[in-house]
Structure 1
Amino acid sequence: MARTPLSFVVRRTERLTDHLIRVHLGGPGFASFTPNGFTDAYVKLQIPGEDGPITRTYTVRSIDPDLEQIAIDFVYHGAEGAAGPWAAAAQPGDELVLAGPGGAYAPKLDADWHLLAGDESALPAISAACAALPEQAVGRVFVEIAGPADELDFTRPAGVELDWVHRGDREPGVALAEAVLAEPWRDGKVHVFIHGEAQVVMHELRPYIRKERGVPADHASISGYWRRGRTEETFRQWKRELAEREGVEPTGARR
């Protein structure tokens, strides 16, 4: 991913649900922002902080070349974290420096069906992927959220069925894993995208997809976007250690 800092400006914000805020960014940086074709495209944001910028990784929800803007969705839980409170307080004209985009996934057209699953952190990438699927595509989508108030409909082919998995008071990822594991497996070549809370995704869902179901690595994008009880900095260290043990390349944290 290009590391050249790009200067963006807040154009407007939207409160999509109780826990999701969309920020539209434009400004001089857009001219140098080059889309990469991945539906999980992400950028490194420099969130203003009292002691200097704090780096956070977020998915680009959409790119509007006509308005010269990008949109980023932020999960918001009150004063928790750095990026959510910034998004909640953002006003038109506020500046934000970012670098990117990076990315690695886009739906494969040769797949017979698609399986996409994740929590709020993966919803922007899942939504972008569904919008990129051809009309005849079929598949299943599972999105874990806190409850009914956080449901947010998005464009997808008629043959792609969406299930909202309500977490309630349970630990993040548990309900999502149960839903995916209980889903009847379809025949044919599948392309899988599963991202969310790292402990569940990496230790429960990835072994199920890769080993039990035998999905090859080039048809399975599976990784954690965040980890309970960890900041992005300590989560990146956790992922590096996991990657070293398993001999794979680590991917970036995202919230």
Structure 2
Amino acid sequence: MSTRSPRSVVTFPIVLRKLTVLRVSDVTPGMRRVTLGGPQLHAFEHAGLSLPALRTEGFHDHVKFFFAEEGRKPVPPRQNVSSLDWPADGRPISKDYTPVRFDPVAGEVDFDFVRHDRGIAPSWAQQAAPGQVTWIAGPKMSHSHPEGADWLLVIGDETALPAIGRRLDEMPEGTRARVFIEVGEDSHRQDLRTRAEAEVTWLVRDGVPAGRSDPSRPIPMSWRARQTHPVPSGAGTLLLCRLLEWLPDEDAIPTLTEAAAAIAADGVVVLVGQVEAADPDDIDAVLHHLRLTAAFGSGLRSVKDVTALAERAGLTVRACRDVGRDHRLWVLAPTA
């Protein structure tokens, strides 16, 4: 399989910006939107440096928000010509978030935060009010929309919803996409704008904690693709998400075997799983990674391990690709 990326990349100088909260609103009961603004969204001078205006040109963009421990003020890094100078005595607390809307004329940029009672960033968003000051840095690069793709597969939970929403909004007209979004409650669904030929499926956990939904539940995707980029599809496709994270071999093999029996001879099973802790600074992610390590030895299964599991279930690995920063996608087909 070719390793050439179908997405072009443009890089930017990393600029630290001091911004002000302009508005706070709830997109849904599960998502809070914070709108930031200020002169430093535009080009500005600082400490003898001429720094460029904010640029964000792709759905995969992210900026760092800087936070402080309770009772302290945030200490952001210092600005260099095109990068940041991090303190030698410890990095400030930072979290990555996707700009969901940027209006350079109005001087506004929106960020969405999942509402829950844990985590320094959601806690900040919960108490954010107009007039408060915050610091962001980035984006440092933007990726273009994939070129040459016959159709796109987009998968994520509410933490990925800001990027998914922006991606759908920016998809060129005529793009074909299948989109699967998991949310905690039915009221957390959003009206997502798009010009694309996108079919969006909402998966509601109904009170089940995030990351604990049934990993063995197959999702039918009966949709034929004209080409094979990045995921081939035969007469039928089953999507299995996060199967390998939570199931030991003795449970994963029967599930894969059932999936193999459910598809046509020219069908495929698309398997998506997290392969490492998504955010090393997030204590929940670290504990999750430790649980994976305890279960599987390394915190993830190797290509060799998954190939062996697939073979025991009557499947052959047709393709394997790392997607995003912490997930892996497998395409499994019935053994001839």
Q: Structure 1-normalised TM-score?
A: 0.73
Q: CA deviation at 1:26?
A: 0.7
Compared CA separation, residues 6 and 228, structure 1 to 2 (3 A): closer
Structure 2 Cα separation of the partners of residues 90 and 234 of structure 1? 27
Distance 1:156 1:62 in 2: 14
Q: Aligned residue for 2:110?
A: 71
Q: Residue 37 of structure 1: CA displacement? A: 2.3
CA deviations over 1:110-168 (Å, ceiling 9, x no partner): 21111111011111111111111112111111110001110111112352011111012
Range with greater deviation from structure 2 (163-172 or 55-64): 163-172
Deviation at 1:229, TM superposition (A): 11
Q: Which has the higher contact order (CA 8 A, sep 6+)?
A: 1
Change in Cα spacing, 1:224 to 1:201, as seen in structure 2 (3 Å) is farther
Greater mean deviation of Cα atoms: 223-232 or 59-68: 223-232
More helix as a share of residues: 1
2:124 to 86, 92, 100: 86
Greater CA deviation, 48-57 or 143-152?
48-57
For residues 167 and 139 of structure 2, the distance between their equivalents in structure 1, rounded to whole angstroms, comes to 16
* Structure 1 residue 250: Cα displacement: 9.3
Relative to structure 1, is the Cα distance of residues 249 and 126 closer, same or farther in structure 2, using a 3 angstrom cutoff? Answer: closer
SS in 2 for 1:93: coil
In the TM superposition, what is the alpha-carbon distance from 1:47 to its structure 2 partner? 2.3
Task: Quote the offset at 1:51 in angstroms.
Answer: 3.7
Aligned counterpart, 1:231:
283
- How far apart, CA to CA, are the structure 2 residues paired with 1:162 and 1:65? 30
- Kindly report the root-mean-square deviation, in angstroms, between the aligned alpha carbons of the 2 structures: 3.9
Match of 1:196 in 2: none
Q: Secondary structure at the match of 1:88?
A: helix
CA distance in 2, matches of 1:249, 1:189: 16
Query: Is the 2:168–2:196 Cα contact (8 Å) retained in structure 1?
Result: no
2:24 is the counterpart of 1:13: yes
Aligned to 2:55: 35
Counterpart Cα distance in 1 of 2:214 and 2:154: 11
Worse-matched range after superposition: 110-119 or 95-104: 95-104
Identity of aligned residues (%): 25
- C-alpha change, 1:162 and 1:131, in structure 2 (3 Å) is same
The structure 2 residue matched to 1:62, chosen from 97, 101, 110, is 101
Decide whether aligned partners of structure 1 residues 104 and 128 sit closer, same or farther in structure 2, where only a CA change above 3 A counts: same
Cα distance in 1 for partners of 2:161, 2:197 equals 19
Tell whether the 8 Å contact from 2:279 to 2:285 is kept in structure 1 after alignment: no
Alignment of 1:134-149 (within 5 A): 134-149=172-187
Q: Structure 1 residues 158, 133: closer, same or farther in 2, change over 3 A?
A: closer
Q: SS of the counterpart of 2:130?
A: coil
Between the aligned partners of 2:55 and 2:132, the Cα distance in structure 1 is 23
Structure 2 unaligned segments of length 5 or more: list them.
1-11, 43-51, 75-92, 232-240, 247-255, 257-267, 291-297, 304-321, 327-336
> In 1, Cα distance between the equivalents of 2:143 and 2:243?
17
Q: CA deviation at 1:40?
A: 1.2
Q: Could you say which residue in structure 2 is the equivalent of 1:101?
A: 139
Return the index of the structure with the highest Cα Rg: 2
| TM-score using structure 2 length | 0.57
1: distance between equivalents of 2:182 and 2:277?
Answer: 14
SS at match of 2:191: coil
2:43 pairs with 1:25: no
Specify the alignment match of 1:44 in structure 2: 64
Aligned match of 1:132? 170
